């Protein structure tokens, strides 16, 4: 039974996040969205997982379950979300080299399959993830953005970028990020490892990016990190206060949660061996 890894890009504006409601009762809360309430109602919300899973089912003509790597919240975008599914009968539907075209032909314009590849049978997009990276993009200028307004958060005032970079360095490493998540995050531990946090100007001089990457994140953690660094840039907080928020894990000491508009899941990385197709697996059994 071939197992496939999908790389999925989407504009999250009109989606209620990644996770379909039907799976909320069994999947643990992810880093970007909490579990749905039990009384969420009978009317299903539009989610990326549900839309893509339905398209895959139509293409392979069999029931499949699509498992995703990151539970992005409502309004959050992705360039490289990762999902996986098992195909019970590869003789039905299109061949492997046309799966992406077939699935995309059944998807709406705000979500797209970027890549489809066969992976090892035990590949799991959640447990095998080594690291993932997010970008929060700020538009700083007198006028709000027009063409990219769905993908940035607008600020009228300038920011002290050097102060932001100093504060960002405090976030790198293993810390208790309890101050950088909301109540009801649903995780037993709020200790996480941030591998890097950078503040950088993009090619467009009005765009400032906050890049954060690590081994895993808490509910709205990146949006709170971005909100905290913006407060530092405005002179309302400093690096010492960021350090104190980490030390105490007190949510009141960190900055606000910025809107989802500017947040994008940029990449997810896995060990090479779990992405090795069975045909190329040196450990695979040789044919008789």
CATH code: domain of residue 182:
3.30.70.660
Chain position carrying tokens 């989610």 = 47
From 128, 163, 196, give the residue that closes a domain.
Answer: 128
Q: Residue 41: left (phi > 0), alpha (psi -120 to 50), or beta?
A: left
Number of domains the chain contains: 2
Residue 89 annotated as catalytic = no
Question: Of 32, 50, 73, 100, which residue is the catalytic one?
Answer: 73
Q: Contact at 8 Å (CB) between 10 and 77?
A: yes
Average pLDDT, the chain: 89
In angstroms, the CA 208 to CA 163 distance is 14
Q: What is the pLDDT of residue 150?
A: 96
Question: Domain limits at 156?
Answer: 131-267
Which of 37-46, 159-168, 197-206, 259-268 is predicted least confidently?
Answer: 37-46
Domain shared by 103 and 143, yes or no: no
From 128, 161, 189, give the residue that closes a domain.
Answer: 128
Residue 41: closest CA among 68, 17, 28, 22: 22
Band (pLDDT 50/70/90 cuts) for residue 275 is confident
The most confident of the ranges 14-18, 94-98, 183-187 is: 14-18
Domain for residue 150, yes or no?
yes
Whole-model pTM: value is 0.88
Q: What is the pLDDT of residue 33?
A: 53
Residue 235: closest CA among 148, 162, 144: 162
Domain shared by 45 and 103, yes or no: yes
Domain for residue 285, yes or no?
no
């Amino acid at each position: 039974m071939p197992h496939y890894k999908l790389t999925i890009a989407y504009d999250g504006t009109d989606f209620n996040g990644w996770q379909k409601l039907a799976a909320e009762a069994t999947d643990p809360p992810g880093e970007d969205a909490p579990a749905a309430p039990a009384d969420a109602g009978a009317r299903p919300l539009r989610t990326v997982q549900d839309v893509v899973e339905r398209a895959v089912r139509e293409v392979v003509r069999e029931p499949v379950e699509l498992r995703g790597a990151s539970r992005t919240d409502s309004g959050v975008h992705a360039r490289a979300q990762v999902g996986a599914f098992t195909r019970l009968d590869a003789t039905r539907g299109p061949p492997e080299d046309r799966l992406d075209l077939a699935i995309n032909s059944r998807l709406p314009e705000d979500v797209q399959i970027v890549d489809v590849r066969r992976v090892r049978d035990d590949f799991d997009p959640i447990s095998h993830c080594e690291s993932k990276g997010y970008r929060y993009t700020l538009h700083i200028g007198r006028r709000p953005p027009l063409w990219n307004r769905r993908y940035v958060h607008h600020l009228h005032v300038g920011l002290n970028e050097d102060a932001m970079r100093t504060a960002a360095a405090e976030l790198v490493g293993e810390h208790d990020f309890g101050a950088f998540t909301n109540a009801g995050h649903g995780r037993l531990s709020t200790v996480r490892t941030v591998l890097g946090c950078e503040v950088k100007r993009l090619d467009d001089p009005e765009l400032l990016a906050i890049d954060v990457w690590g081994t895993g994140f808490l509910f709205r953690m990146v949006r709170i990190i971005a909100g905290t660094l913006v407060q530092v840039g405005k002179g309302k907080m400093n690096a010492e206060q960021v350090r104190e928020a980490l030390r105490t894990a007190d949510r009141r000491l960190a900055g606000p949660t910025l809107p989802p508009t500017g947040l994008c899941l940029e990449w997810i990385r896995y060990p090479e061996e779990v992405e090795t197709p069975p045909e190329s697996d040196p450990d695979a059994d040789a044919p008789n």
